[in-house]
Amino acid sequence: DYAHDKGMEVIMDVAPYVFERLGITYDDLSFFSDIHADGIRLDEGFDGQKEALMTFNPEHLKIEFNASIDNKYIENVLSYKPNTDYVLTCHNFYPQRYSGLSYDTFEKTSKAIRKHNLPIAAFVSSQQPGTFGPWNVYEGLCTLEMHRDLPIDLQARHLFATGLVDDVIIANCFASEEELKALSELEPGKLTFRIDLEGEPNEAEEKIIFEHPHFVRGDMNEYSARSTMPRITFKDASIPPRNTRDLKRGDIVVVNDNYDRYKGELHVILKDMPNDGRKNVVGHLPEEEQVLLNYLDAWKTFAFKK
């Protein structure tokens, strides 16, 4: 009830032996409704048909399935024609270091679920010291092993960037106010990068980087993702040459005064190349942020944060 007062919903994790101990049957889930749960998550299943029948429960409880297991389980349930309006899926979290999902497994199982237009949730981990989960293990609590030591907002930005996750849940507690604020500012549909600036941008560069809307040109090339509209907005601004070193993957550049009609374009560098002096390196993506470069594609909207 307290969770409901705070605008949350409660999905209870249930294994088959819980049904046995409490005397609950798959065709009568009123026990969970009586204790005000919104749904149940089946960490392990029955035979597929029972789960499908559970989705027609008169209490309208949501039935959530494990998205992390590569065994056609969810496809089996779907073969029995459940009421998909009450079907959710959610990946596991992994308290033990080096036991989280590989990206390949996450992608494979999630894409199999996506084909059926079912919602998918996954977990991220607070990096606050002393955080904990349901067991006495304090090594983080994430879905993807590659996320275990990353900032929480980068974990979430990566999950959303994949296009394979609808809901992101913090698995351990307690996340800091700073972490919660960073998560609250995310726009799931927009690819957002944290940038380390190189030198002091002038006024035009600052506005191009942080204020101008960006999207990748539709005719994307292999060397850079080009945001070309700033060259129109800032056609009368001055962008003197500075920091024109050769370009490395992860660099952010603004085309300077020496490139005439292209002045003001912003490029995200995808492949190392020489700089002929007409592109100012205004910043660089930290190494941990560069995983997000894989999701830049034609017409993709993106933005930067300091």
- What gap in Å lies between CA 272 and CA 250, rounded to an integer? 9
Burial environment of residue 119 by CB neighbours within 10 A (0 to 12, 13 to 18, 19 or more):
middle
Q: What's the domain count of the chain?
A: 2
The sign of the dihedral angle between the CA atoms of 213, 147, 114, 30 is negative
Query: Based on the domain organization, do 169 and 214 belong to the same domain?
Result: no
**Containing domain of residue 265, as a range?**
194-305
Same-domain check for residues 205 and 171: no
CATH number, position 252 = 2.40.100.10
279 and 147 within one domain: no
Question: Please, which pLDDT band fits residue 267 given cuts at 50, 70 and 90?
Answer: very high
Last residue of a domain, one of 140, 169, 192: 192
Q: What is the CATH number of the domain that holds 118?
A: 3.20.20.70
Percent of the chain with pLDDT over 70: 100
pLDDT grade, residue 11 (50/70/90)? Answer: very high
User: Are residues 19 and 156 both part of a single domain?
Assistant: yes
What average pLDDT does this structure show over 125-146? 94
Rounded to the nearest 10°, the torsion over CA 73, 43, 13, 104 is -80
Asked if residue 177 and residue 278 are part of one domain, the reply reads no
HSE-up of residue 249 (Cα within 13 Å, Cβ side): 12
CA torsion, ordered 175, 176, 181, 184, to nearest 10 deg = 10
- What tens digit of pLDDT does each residue of 100-110 get? 999 999 999 99
Residue 186 has pLDDT above 90, yes or no: yes
First to last CA, the chain: 39
Residues 41 and 170 in one domain: yes
